[in-house]
Structure 1
Amino acid sequence: MSFYTELLICFLLVVGGVFLLIGSIGLARLPDVFTRLHGPTKATTLGITGVLLSSMIYQTINQGSFSVSEVLITLFLLITAPVAANMIAKATLHRENPSIPRTKGQSLLHNIRHRKAADAEQSD
């Protein structure tokens, strides 16, 4: 394996590891559910993509043929992470979990919860 290939693999691993660390710290330290969603859906997805790309390059060079499994895992993660974040946000709104006062869009949260109550009254 050439020096530049090893350098690229190491670079992708380090960048992916840094993004995974930042996303994990964000998940643990951010104050409410709405801000915690950004850690696993943005930074961690980018981090695991870097790790999987480095694995794909390494396996492709070692096996002599293109490694498809890492590409499929990456595509699956990139497709499902936003959907999972959307479902978590909807469940949080449905359960009426409080957000911190600094969260932007407080009026939007109030409007959504008020609209839900109005829709329930109309259906009765």
Structure 2
Amino acid sequence: MELLWDIVISALLVIGGIFGFVGSLGLVKLPDPMTRLHAPTKSATLGVGAILIASMLWFATKQGHITLHELMVTVFIFLTAPITAHFISKANIFRDWPAETLPEPAGEGEWAVHQADADTSEGELAVKKETEAAREED
């Protein structure tokens, strides 16, 4: 049974190393920021996750106690990597791509990144419009 755990842990380490290498290589070799973004957020995240799970299994099988630190780090990485990638891609679209060159989004409306005051509430919009109207009168 110990040999089986050694094989599983070794396989996870090798898989994690391969994913980490592919993510690092993609970060260096891909041509632009939007395609470069996929390498660390997808493959490197899977690589780190596999290595952390291998560490958790090693402590459980070899040391005889369960450590949840690795599981917590894995969950945090899997939760934060997509959110970070989303923010980076939105910033890249806002900075580098004019609204006219983007493809039409599905449904009604425009890209949220290029809409004026897309993230503000109705009350804030009303105050802003009143302030602008008062400035125009002066």
Give me the TM-score of the superposition, normalised by structure 1.
0.79
Tell me the alpha carbon deviations over residues 57-101 of structure 1, each in whole angstroms, 9 at most, x when there is no partner: 111123322110000000000000000000100111121169xxx
- The aligned counterpart of 1:11 is 11
Structure 1 gap ranges (5+)? 99-104
Task: Tell me how far 1:112 sits from its aligned partner.
Answer: 3.8
Instruction: Spell out, residue by residue over 1:13-59, the C-alpha distance to the aligned partner (whole angstroms, 9 max, x if none).
Output: 00110000001101111111111111011100111111001100111
For 1:27 and 1:107, the matched residues in 2 are separated by: 25
Task: Within 5 Å, give how 1:24-39 maps onto structure 2.
Answer: 24-39=24-39
Structure 1 segments, 4+ long, off by >6 Å, are none
Q: How does 1:1-124 map to 2 (within 5 A)?
A: 2-96=2-96, 106-108=102-104, 112=111, 116=114, 119=116
Q: Distance in 2 between matches of 1:83 and 1:65?
A: 33
CA distance in 2, matches of 1:35, 1:106: 16
Instruction: Tell me which of the two structures has the higher relative contact order, counting C-alpha pairs closer than 8 angstroms and 6 or more residues apart.
Output: 1
For the aligned residues, what is the CA RMSD? 2.6
Report the Cα offset of residue 108 of structure 1.
4.6
Identity of aligned residues (%): 37
Unaligned runs of 5+ in 2: 118-128, 133-138
State TM-score, norm by structure 2: 0.71
| Letter of the 1:80 counterpart | T
Query: Number of aligned pairs?
Result: 113
Over 3 Å counting, the alpha-carbon distance change for 1:97 and 1:37 in structure 2 is: same
Largest Rg, 1 or 2: 2
Cα distance, 1:106 vs structure 2 = 4.9
2:103 aligned partner, one-letter code: S
